[in-house]
Structure 1
């Protein structure tokens, strides 16, 4: 199921089959959920943080509270209990995107590179239910699975010094959303008015979590600014529902 590797004196890395797939990622998240369940039930003490990735799970622990042997024995004991059903029900959040040229800085290039019209690009980009494999690179940045191969586009040859928060781009076989303004080398095709990271929200600073699904929805420029205003006033109602079609 997974192998255990040491990562310094205060962490161990659980490595699963090294491939990017929904099945492997679901197993990673189910393992994380199983460990978190034991933490919440006070069955184990000294685990400080769990960090999931595509096909691995990093466990930070306090060696003054939890010995390495105790942790290893615990991990061995829970293997038989881990089932993908341990994971929480998959939720899907709808993300409004405006593909206007003002926001889609590289929209024309991506269309030309893939021999697509703007309408075809929008259709292909908004059709999938994207799985959030992990958050990384920066706080709240989602690594999504499910991009149509007809949209695959190489990164910029020279990264920009600033990408606006909410910008949505494509880099090789992936699409993603910049949660904050930052440098970046992805091909930018749209922007969302939603906040993907809020440093002032201590309980839920990121909009997404690993294991969720995301569905893009095309909106007009007027709708973008209307939703943006609602977000600023904190009255926007996010569209979140259970995803049952996978």
Structure 2
């Protein structure tokens, strides 16, 4: 079967790049490095359980190759690399079935958040939910940071995501590391000083940061009704019971 000319032209110079790690902070760090090393677009992350996370980028073939190489090297430095892949000229069927197509549509519609943008990002991953909650509490109390969300990727791995100035995030993450180790197991940490917009749009954000507060509408016609007062009897005139022998 021969490809139609327009279809061949659409996929001639594009590629998909995938890098997989065993840690959410590691995959965010890889994604940040891929975005900053080449002209690619971060489609998003795919979490497949047991702590496995995959960052997906798209762009020109040469750019994607450079980005994947940089991302894989970053994952190797963390000791968390599982695999990497470059798919040149992906057909529409592949992108339609995988979650890539839906994410590309959302990005094209500019469906994202910017409420906490232009802030440094800190990620602290623990094995066990109590350790993550304790670390998040310690981070919030140690510096002027905001807990934007948390992420779970299976195998007991939980990541608290904070935002703030670079200095505050660094201080907070250090405090969270000590608390996580005291409570349970610290798995990974990551501080990203200057995240790009593509990275911002793919990170989770708690609903309290993106939902507009609704005004409390009370009915105007409701009036306070005064309750009827009841007169108490005179205690001095009440009969006193006599003790029985």
Range class of TM-score, shorter chain: under 0.3
Q: Which has the larger radius of gyration?
A: 2
State the TM-score, normalized to the length of structure 1.
0.26
**Larger helix percent:** 2
State the TM-score, normalized to the length of structure 2.
0.27
